[in-house]
Structure 1
Amino acid sequence: MTRSALLVLADGRFPAGGHAHSGGAEAAVKAGRLKDAADLAAFCRGRLHTTGLTSAALAAAAALGADPFELDAAADARTPSPALRAASRRLGRQLMRAARATWPSPELDRLATAFPRGAHQPAVLGTAARAAGLGPEDAAHCVAYETVSGPATAAVRLLGLDPFQATAVLARLAPAMDEIAAHAAERAAAALGDGAAGGLDALPAASAPLLDLTAEQHAAWPVRLFAS
């Protein structure tokens, strides 16, 4: 395993399309629920412990070699918002392009062939991590970090928030990110282990209904800065 590969995959400059998405922050700003650094910290923490945990476990399962069709169904079942399902597949398609160019792999090729319109982003990320020689907890760490770094970056643009404050929010969330990544990897390993009961159905399914609702509203806006 190479830690440098983890840094490349988690780098916000990796051309995976995440910069165009706010993780629900744009809708939260418009609704007045996200106004400053304290609100950002609360927003990110809530997102991390709900959709972050769910996506991190899916990515960890992909890194462990879970069946891609079962994983896709599991991701669909855990993403009730059509707008968020579409965003996840768009991000997965863009990440696939970047990952195949960076870490050519038969597994990535098979996943791209199986889902020509885009697999869910966590499935692609976990498969990319596997191709890069990384493990399930590494994949989960990438998801956990992206879960909070996306809204933090968006808040700088949407609110004119001091970038130092936004970065401080991320730094203070580091222990929680570590905890979520470890828990997600453990749950994925348990779901896929020998004699496991439930299979992928046993993966976390934590949700954030308000994010689902506002994602649908956001998708209907005629003018918006971010795709989601």
Structure 2
Amino acid sequence: MTTSEGGSRTGRAALLVLADGRFPAGGHAHSGGAEAAVRAGRISDATTLGEFCRGRLHTTGLVSAALAAAAAVGLDPFDLDAAADARTPSPALRTAGRRLGRQMMRAARAVWPSPELDALAAALPRGAHQPVVLGLAARCAGLGPEDAAHVVAYETVSGPATATVRLLGLDPFDAAMVLARLTSELDDIAARAATAARLARSEGTDALPAASAPLLEISAEHHAAWPVRLFAS
């Protein structure tokens, strides 16, 4: 069992449902920047995939995990959505984040019906940023900030790894090896994100991480202009 910030208790199975790659939240259509990196030659094998995933984890992953953790501890989701916008310079990535948030909202409301989710969906019909929705869904499922942060951190690296199997024909065993070798860093990022989220309860969203990944942002803009692509982002 795990205890949420609100004091309710839930089975760890709720975390597995939320983290399951088959959860219908739309992530399968996104490569997390891997498609652009493959074309540019920055990902060509398991070694370079690991380097890409590590860089993404410590920048985008930390920021997104902290936003999700903050939603899970009860920070205002509208403030968090504005904070997510401020931390996402690329219009293409803001659009992708809201599209994923909209799909996550559909799935979360079906699985864990909640007035909080309903209110956010009604106020932002085009979608809130995905980490904010995921963190709020975690809260509604009775999960805590570390849980939400772990899900987002894992998604940050599992999306590119899965996409690279399709893009390069990379051996799935090699992709799994890359993820396994990042597990201690995933734990560290989730812990840092949860700590920042708790601090933000008293100091506001400025206390949340704002790490940047300029190459990911630039690549996302290039990728969005491609006439033919396998993934949405």
Partner of 1:99: 108
Of residues 110, 132, 135, the one that matches 1:123 is: 132
Q: Which residue of 2 aligns with 1:27?
A: 36
CA shift, 1:84, in A, is 0.1
Once residues 93 and 220 of structure 1 are traced to their aligned partners in structure 2, the CA distance between those partners, rounded to angstroms, is 22
| Distance in 2 separating the partners of 1:67 and 1:87 | 22
1:183-204: per-residue Cα shift (whole Å, max 9, x none)?
Answer: 0000110111xxx33x101100
Letter paired with 1:49: H
Amino acid at match of 1:203: L
Q: What is the TM-score normalised by the length of structure 1?
A: 0.97
Which residue does 1:16 correspond to in 2? 25
Alignment of 1:53-92 (within 5 A): 53-92=62-101
- Specify the alignment match of 1:46 in structure 2: 55
The match for 2:163 is 154
Q: What secondary structure, in the 3-state scheme, does the structure 2 residue paired with 1:204 have?
A: coil
Which residue does 1:201 correspond to in 2? Answer: 206
Instruction: Could you list the structure 1 runs, at least 4 aligned residues long, displaced by more than 3 angstroms after superposition.
Output: none
1:164-195: CA deviation from partner (whole Å, max 9, x where unpaired): 00001101101000000010000110111xxx
Deviation, structure 1 residue 63: 0.6
RMSD over aligned Cα atoms: 0.6
Alpha-carbon deviation of 1:128? 0.3
Deviation at 1:218, TM superposition (A): 0.1
Deviation by residue 1:66-111 (Cα, 9 ceiling, x = unmatched): 1122111100000000000000000000000000000111111111
Paired with 2:28 and 2:155, the residues of 1 have a C-alpha distance of: 10
Unaligned runs of at least 5 residues, structure 1: none
Alignment counterpart, residue 228 of structure 2, candidates 202, 206, 223: 223
| Equivalent position of 2:6 in the other structure | none
How far off is 1:4 after superposition?
Answer: 0.3
Whether 1:213 and 2:222 are equivalent positions in the alignment is no
Equivalences, count: 224
Whole-Å separation in 2 of the counterparts to 1:168 and 1:8 = 23
Q: State the SS of the aligned residue for 1:225.
A: coil
AA paired with 1:65? Answer: G
TM-score with structure 2 length normalisation?
0.95
- Counterpart AA for 1:149: S
Offset of 1:153 from its aligned partner? 0.2
SS at match of 1:134: coil
2:196 maps to 1:191: no
